[in-house]
Chain A
Amino acid sequence: MEKKIAELFDVFNIEETEKLLDKDINTQANKKAINRVKSSVYKKAALKEKRNITISRRFAVCAAGFAVIIICFSLIGFDNVAAAIGRMFTFIPGYGIVENNQRIKHVINEINEPISDENNDIILTVTNAITTEKEITIMFEVKNKHYSKKQATKEKQEALNGINNGESVTSEFYLNVNGKRYKETTGYKSSSGEINVCAYSYEVDSSDINTDITYRLEFNGLSASFKLKDYESFDMLEQIGATDYNNDISITAVPEFKGNKLTVELYSINKSGYEIYSYNKDNDKGYLGEDLNLKTNNGIKKYTTPDGWAGANNKFMFEINSADKDLILNIPYIIVQSREEYDVTLPIPETEEKITVNKKIKFKDCTMIITDVEKTFSSHTDNYGELKLTLKYENISKNKIMIGADLAEVNSWGRTIGSAWGSELNDDGIMETMYFNLNENQGNKIKLRVYDPVYYFTDDYVLEIKK
């Protein structure tokens, strides 16, 4: 009987499976395996994994929570890194290095126990706080004690509805200062489902910002209390950690040794006009076969990275032992991205025909050339053919090598309507071809938006890690 049941299940069609699995079946899978599967699928689909949605929760929220303050900093920052050297810096562990201390007044006074409160259903924990003269930004987590996968699916559906309906985050978190209750002026929320990570800013009277007051974050009868302290400032980045500079981007390495494990967190001050995309190789392909590594007297150590992160992963872990000395962190290149976009129109050839177009797209540091456009008929789907674009690059500087860009089809209203489904990379991870599926009424030309070019900045960073 058992064999018969299993054999019948094996040949269930879609409709029969639909009836059988009408309820949710919650299963726990190995998280690391699932993450590897996800990366593999993105690679096959030639898509970049949107890491800024995946969670290193603390990093994501710190970045979000400080956005209000940091916007101000960028306006009063310096033109280049060299000018910033020798100025005052504040280092906020888990977030970054902030220039010009005049805006920051206090940070949270850390104590050994978590700053939290809980009831039967949730745990509220304050993880960080930072103030300017008139504003307090608080980072906190709300953990749901009874979270289930079923609820996750329901919330994902609601989130999808929310995307279409434009729903916004509402707040019930108040900051109590000596009996005065403040409502937030801005709030950011990131959710993994079980844990909501938030950063809320409160505009308060300047007389209510000092290190004597006990502040209370209040939510649904819960209250998490904390105090502030003066921040620690530094004259030089090197006081925070080993620092190196290239192309108006400084990178400071902050190490932590625990037993046989070294964790290095990288923090940057970036005046280059580019966003840092990655400190290590992307798509499993590194430039000239190289990648971030740790040199020791006993040889080169490779890194591991945390399971999830936001933006560019800045945390690298190495296995070391007491005999390992002379630790040098080598970053042979970084990957950066620029926010530029251009539209081009290309002809669509006949099926199995290739046209040389040599269409140039001039970005700030490189000219991308779409050399050929070829239409092929895909035998594995019922689509209307696919377009293959061949790419070449003319880099302006030897140390800024373009890797590729995003390409999307644009409709007559200027709206992007679909991305490339695939691409081919060479051994250095540089995009050589891109593929687009064509539609039934495509016509004889296609308009594309070429945007967000990505580069290797190949000047290396060499950082001595002291035990």
Chain B
Amino acid sequence: MTADNELLYLLKTNPQKGLKILMNTYSGLVYAIVYNRLAGVCSAEDIEECVSDMFYEFYKNIDRVDLQKGSIKAFLSVIGKRKSIDVFRRAKNINAQTVSFDDLFYKDKDANIQSDIIKSQEKAELIKEIKALGEPDSEIFIRKYYLYQSTKQISKDLKLKENTIDKKVSRGLAKLKEALGGE
């Protein structure tokens, strides 16, 4: 069994142990996704509540986790993103819909298929171009635009100077603009 398979099995058969390993492994990443989005609009308690809800939601729905689609890391990241966006919109009184685990799998039947296809292509291109930046630029982009980390935080985590980070972001944006178009 892979490590993710084993962890899912543990979550079902020994939830105390499984949850402990789950949170020890992924709490840093998930907390970063949620905190960096919500800091400034929510209190520390609300942020922690969001992260806690996120893990609990995952735990409640482990029977629906399909590792063929992606790893536990991917599932948690997407749940974290969607929940934090939901909380952000509510905090800002922007029109928000409650995010549920179903949203990870089911598409809105009224969605515009054409628009979905275009977006999928854009996302695929984005992944390809970000990977093409090489390391550490690729990771810098993920930290900055996926995790919403500040330059200072990225500098601390990657042990690079802040102006080095800024230069790499600037050059990377120029490359992406050329490859993907846009302003």
Interface residues in chain A, defined as those with a beta carbon under 8 Å from any beta carbon in chain B: 1-2, 4-6, 8-21, 23, 25-30, 33-34, 36-38, 40-42, 44-45, 47-50, 53, 149, 153, 156-157, 160-161, 164, 380-383, 417-419, 421
Min distance, Cβ A327 to any Cβ of chain B, angstroms: 32
Instruction: Show 19 A/B contacts (Cβ-Cβ < 8 Å), sorted by A.
Output: A1-B182, A4-B180, A6-B148, A8-B122, A9-B145, A11-B123, A14-B70, A14-B104, A17-B74, A18-B69, A20-B130, A20-B146, A25-B143, A37-B55, A47-B16, A156-B25, A381-B64, A382-B64, A417-B13
Taking CB as reference atom, which chain B residue is nearest A9? B146
Taking CB as reference atom, which chain A residue is nearest B183? A1
Interface residues in chain B, defined as those with a beta carbon under 8 Å from any beta carbon in chain A: 1, 3, 6-7, 10, 12-17, 19-21, 23-25, 27-29, 31-32, 35, 44, 47-49, 51-53, 55-56, 59-61, 63-64, 69-71, 73-75, 77-78, 81, 85, 104, 119, 122-124, 126-127, 130, 139, 141-143, 145-149, 156-157, 173, 176-177, 180, 182-183
Q: With the chains together, A37 CA to B51 CA distance in Å?
A: 7
Q: With the chains together, A160 CA to B28 CA distance in Å?
A: 20
* Of the residues A4, A13, A156, contact of B21 by C-beta under 8 Å: A156
Q: Is the CB of A12 within 8 A of B123?
A: yes
User: Quick one: given A27-B28, A28-B28, A33-B44, are A16 and B23 in contact (CB under 8 Å)?
Assistant: no
* Of the residues A10, A29, A36, A40, contact of B85 by C-beta under 8 Å: A10
Q: Is the CB of A5 within 8 A of B126?
A: yes
Taking CB as reference atom, which chain B residue is nearest A42? B19
Q: Is the CB of A381 within 8 A of B61?
A: yes
Residues of A within 8 A of B59 (CB): 41, 45
Q: With the chains together, A13 CA to B127 CA distance in Å?
A: 12
Residues of A within 8 A of B70 (CB): 14-15, 17-18
Min distance, Cβ B81 to any Cβ of chain A, angstroms: 6
Q: Is the CB of A25 within 8 A of B35?
A: no
* Of the residues B6, B49, B78, B143, contact of A164 by C-beta under 8 Å: B6
* Of the residues A9, A26, A40, A380, contact of B49 by C-beta under 8 Å: A40
Give 9 nearest A-B pairs by CB, closest first: A18-B70, A40-B52, A14-B70, A157-B3, A18-B74, A29-B31, A27-B32, A17-B74, A27-B28
Q: Is the CB of A17 within 8 A of B31?
A: no
Q: Is the CB of B19 within 8 A of A41?
A: yes
User: Quick one: given A16-B127, A419-B15, are A37 and B23 in contact (CB under 8 Å)?
Assistant: yes
Residues of B within 8 A of A12 (CB): 78, 81, 123
* Of the residues A26, A42, A383, A418, contact of B28 by C-beta under 8 Å: A26
Q: With the chains together, A48 CA to B16 CA distance in Å?
A: 7
Q: Is the CB of B173 within 8 A of A1?
A: yes
Interface of B is mostly: helix
Q: With the chains together, A17 CA to B126 CA distance in Å?
A: 12
Min distance, Cβ A361 to any Cβ of chain B, angstroms: 22
Q: Is the CB of B15 within 8 A of A8?
A: no
Residues of A within 8 A of B69 (CB): 14-15, 18
Q: Is the CB of A37 within 8 A of B127?
A: no
Residues of B within 8 A of A5 (CB): 126, 141, 145, 176
Residues of A within 8 A of B63 (CB): 381-383
Residues of A within 8 A of B145 (CB): 2, 5-6, 9
Q: Is the CB of B147 within 8 A of A25?
A: yes
Q: With the chains together, A48 CA to B14 CA distance in Å?
A: 12
Q: Is the CB of B52 within 8 A of A41?
A: yes
Taking CB as reference atom, which chain A residue is nearest B156? A28
Q: Is the CB of A34 within 8 A of B27?
A: yes
Min distance, Cβ A162 to any Cβ of chain B, angstroms: 11
Residues of A within 8 A of B25 (CB): 153, 156
Q: With the chains together, A207 CA to B76 CA distance in Å?
A: 59
Q: Is the CB of A29 within 8 A of B35?
A: yes
Q: With the chains together, A164 CA to B1 CA distance in Å?
A: 10
Q: Is the CB of A18 within 8 A of B147?
A: no
* Of the residues A1, A33, A156, A418, contact of B24 by C-beta under 8 Å: A156
Residues of A within 8 A of B49 (CB): 40
Residues of B within 8 A of A41 (CB): 19, 23, 52, 55-56, 59
Residues of B within 8 A of A156 (CB): 3, 21, 24-25
Q: Is the CB of A29 within 8 A of B130?
A: no
User: Quick one: given A23-B139, A45-B19, A382-B64, are A29 and B27 in contact (CB under 8 Å)?
Assistant: yes
Q: Is the CB of B55 within 8 A of A381?
A: no
Min distance, Cβ B94 to any Cβ of chain A, angstroms: 13
- Supplied contacts A6-B145, A23-B139, 13 more A-B pairs, CB within 8 Å: A1-B182, A20-B127, A21-B74, A27-B149, A37-B23, A40-B48, A41-B59, A44-B56, A48-B16, A49-B16, A149-B28, A381-B64, A418-B12
Residues of B within 8 A of A48 (CB): 16
Min distance, Cβ B87 to any Cβ of chain A, angstroms: 13
Min distance, Cβ A61 to any Cβ of chain B, angstroms: 19
Q: With the chains together, A9 CA to B127 CA distance in Å?
A: 10
Q: With the chains together, A26 CA to B14 CA distance in Å?
A: 27
